């Protein structure tokens, strides 16, 4: 209700339809009991029953229409709620930022956003409507049965709570089983996606078969968890059916004995016997449909856990100083990660002068990528400060700050589509000429194909491009975006000498009129810098 506003309208509609259903159930029982009694005791003819039968037919049609309306509303509400939850999940994941996303396995998030949210269909189309009926129909039945036959009404009142009690006991066990099954599915999804992504490397080192065995083991655990959940669901359905059947039998025995003794009229006895199963039916169905919705509810709780994760706190100032003439200063910077035993960048300081190409060097794990994340506003410093001129970076609105910079991580993201589509990630409204110009400035060799209208189609993750081509397409985004500050994280990592020379040349063109901070390991990239700053030790020298 809190996250999906359309669910509120649906619940109100479900209550109204539930009230209408309860009224139709009572009307059907009264018409049937009266008609049968009139035939057997009053000798009513077909002519006498014409009006009651027409009314009964209308009631049956009314119940069918209400059931159709409930089903239609359920599917419509389910689609709206799932759409809203997905939008909120993606939007909040974006607010949490790439640092948080790097801590989540992409397979688990993908499963959560697809199958997990899709599983809410059973909750809205089956469980929730039945829950509304379970709250309305038994009370409506008792309102009619108790005045007509107090003893039968008391029997229903005493036996009716047995079903919810056993439903809760079984449901708690089912929830634990469902949580275990969902965790197994998340592990399987994440493991399988990681294995597929790293399959070329695993094949080279002869570890593909071992990983296949690991995936098989995880799959077997998921199969066992799933079968255990299904077994519990079937057993719980049997328990609820047995309780409902025994409860109806108790009512029927009492009614039959008093009917034989003459203490009860046939019409009243028929009314009670017709309505008694209707009192237990909604509660029994709630237990049955609960299991169909359990997976969706378990996934929804994981979605809510993500939505309730607080995003990094940012400032509110939108007046970002002009970076083309403003110094970026880092003073006594320290960053502490939750899972790290020692702080990163303990007391680190440096200045970034406007218009320079600054190389950041240091050993692996020294905090170079963390430094770029702090400069990009993606990670908040534990102590120290970063200032843009005389403005503290934490005081600036993150969205406003991001509009003034370009950030390329070690492994730039690529989507399935054309090369132009991937370059346009920096500016979706860019023209074909602007995209071609950015590719040419980055030294990419796709310009002739673009000019001929034959753009290269890529798979997910940039499949179809070499490592050097991916880096140059990523640099083309920086040319297309044209921001005064560019942050690059090892843009030449894994490239051969010839490809590295092309990327370094493109980097020189990119640095014209911009401030560029680049994390560098390779000597060619370090030599191209105007200045070098070492992370992990206090070294600063002119190139």
Q: What is the pLDDT of residues 519-534, one digit of tens each?
A: 988 888 888 888 999 8
Indicate whether 451 pLDDT > 60: no
**Paired residues of 489 in beta bridges:** 519
Q: In this predicted model, which residue has the larger pLDDT, 508 or 204?
A: 508
**Better pLDDT: 251 or 8:** 251
Q: Where are the alpha helices (DSSP H) in 443-496?
A: 447-451, 467-481
Residues 6+ apart with CB under 8 A from 248: 276, 277, 280
Other beta carbons within 10 angstroms of residue 520's beta carbon come to 26
pLDDT number for residue 522: 83
Specify the higher pLDDT residue, 467 or 319: 319
Are the CB atoms for 110 and 303 separated by under 8 Å? no
Confidence of residue 543 (pLDDT cuts 50, 70, 90): very low
**If pLDDT is split at 50, 70 and 90, which confidence band does 282 have?**
confident
| 36-50, 245-259, 449-463, range with the lowest pLDDT | 449-463
Tokens in use for 53? 């039968």
pLDDT digits (tens, 9 = 90+) for 319-328: 888 888 888 8
Distance CA 451, CA 440 (A): 12
The pLDDT assigned to 542 comes to: 35
| pLDDT for res 62 | 93
Confidence of residue 441 (pLDDT cuts 50, 70, 90): confident
CB-count burial class (<10 Å; 0-12, 13-18, 19+) for 290: buried
Average pLDDT, the chain: 80
pLDDT digits (tens, 9 = 90+) for 3-24: 667 677 777 888 888 889 888 9
pLDDT at 395 over 60: yes
* Band of pLDDT at residue 339, cut at 50, 70 and 90: low
Amino acid 507: pLDDT: 84
pTM for the whole structure = 0.63
Strand 540-542, strand 531-534: pairing: antiparallel
Q: How deeply is 482 buried, as exposed, middle or buried, from its count of CB atoms within 10 A (0-12, 13-18, 19+)?
A: middle
CB 367 within 8 A of CB 537: no
Using 50, 70 and 90 to split pLDDT, how confident is the model at 540? very low
**How many other CB atoms sit within 10 Å of the CB of residue 124?**
26
């Amino acid at each position: 209700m809190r996250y999906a506003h359309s669910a509120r309208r649906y619940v109100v509609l479900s209550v109204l339809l539930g009230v209408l259903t309860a009224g139709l159930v009572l009307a059907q029982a009264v018409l049937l009991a009266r008609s049968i009694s009139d035939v057997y005791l009053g000798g009513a003819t077909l002519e006498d029953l014409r009006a009651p039968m027409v009314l009964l037919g209308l009631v049956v049609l009314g119940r069918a229409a209400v059931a159709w309306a409930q089903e239609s509303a359920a599917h419509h509400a389910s689609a709206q709620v799932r759409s809203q939850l997905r939008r909120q999940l993606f939007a909040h994941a974006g607010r949490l930022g790439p640092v948080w996303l790097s801590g989540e396995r992409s397979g688990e998030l993908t499963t959560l956003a697809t199958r997990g949210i899709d599983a809410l269909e059973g909750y809205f189309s089956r469980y929730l409507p039945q829950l509304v009926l379970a709250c309305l129909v038994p009370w409506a039945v008792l309102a009619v049965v108790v005045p007509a036959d107090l003893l039968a009404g008391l029997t229903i009142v005493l036996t009716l709570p047995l079903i919810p009690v056993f439903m809760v006991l079984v449901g708690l066990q089912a929830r634990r089983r469902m949580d275990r099954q969902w965790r197994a599915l998340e592990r399987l999804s994440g493991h399988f996606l990681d294995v597929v992504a790293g399959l070329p490397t695993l094949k080279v080192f002869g570890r593909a078969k071992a990983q296949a065995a690991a995936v098989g083991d995880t799959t077997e655990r998921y199969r066992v968890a799933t079968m255990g959940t299904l077994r519990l669901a079937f057993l719980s359905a049997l328990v609820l059916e047995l309780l409902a059947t025994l409860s109806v039998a108790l009512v029927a025995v009492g009614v039959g004995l008093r009917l034989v003794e003459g203490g009860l009229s046939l019409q009243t006895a028929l009314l009670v016997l017709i309505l008694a199963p209707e009192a237990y039916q909604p509660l029994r169905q709630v237990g049955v449909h609960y299991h169909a919705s359990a997976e969706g509810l378990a996934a929804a709780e994981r979605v809510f856990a993500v939505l309730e994760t607080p995003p990094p706190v940012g400032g509110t100032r939108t007046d970002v100083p002009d970076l083309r003439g403003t110094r970026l200063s880092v003073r006594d910077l320290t960053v502490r990660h939750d899972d790290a035993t020692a702080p990163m960048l303990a007391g680190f300081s440096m200045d970034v002068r406007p218009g320079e190409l600054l190389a950041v060097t240091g050993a692996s794990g020294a905090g170079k990528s963390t430094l770029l994340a702090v400069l990009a506003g993606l990670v908040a410093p534990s102590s120290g400060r970063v200032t843009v001129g005389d403005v503290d970076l934490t005081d600036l609105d993150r969205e406003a700050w991001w509009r003034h910079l370009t950030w390329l991580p070690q492994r730039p993201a690529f989507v399935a589509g054309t090369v132009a589509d991937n370059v346009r990630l920096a500016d979706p409204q860019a023209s074909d000429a602007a995209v071609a110009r950015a590719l040419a400035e980055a030294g990419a060799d796709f310009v002739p194909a673009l000019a001929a209208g034959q753009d290269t189609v890529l798979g997910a993750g940039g499949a179809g491009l070499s490592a050097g081509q991916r880096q140059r397409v990523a640099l083309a985004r920086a040319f297309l975006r044209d921001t005064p500050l560019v942050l690059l994280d090892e843009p030449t990592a894994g490239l051969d000498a010839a490809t590295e020379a092309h990327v370094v040349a493109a980097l020189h063109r990119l640095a014209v009129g911009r401030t560029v901070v680049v994390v560098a390991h390779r000597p060619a990239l370090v030599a191209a810098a105007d200045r070098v700053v070492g992370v992990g030790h206090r070294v600063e020298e002119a190139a």
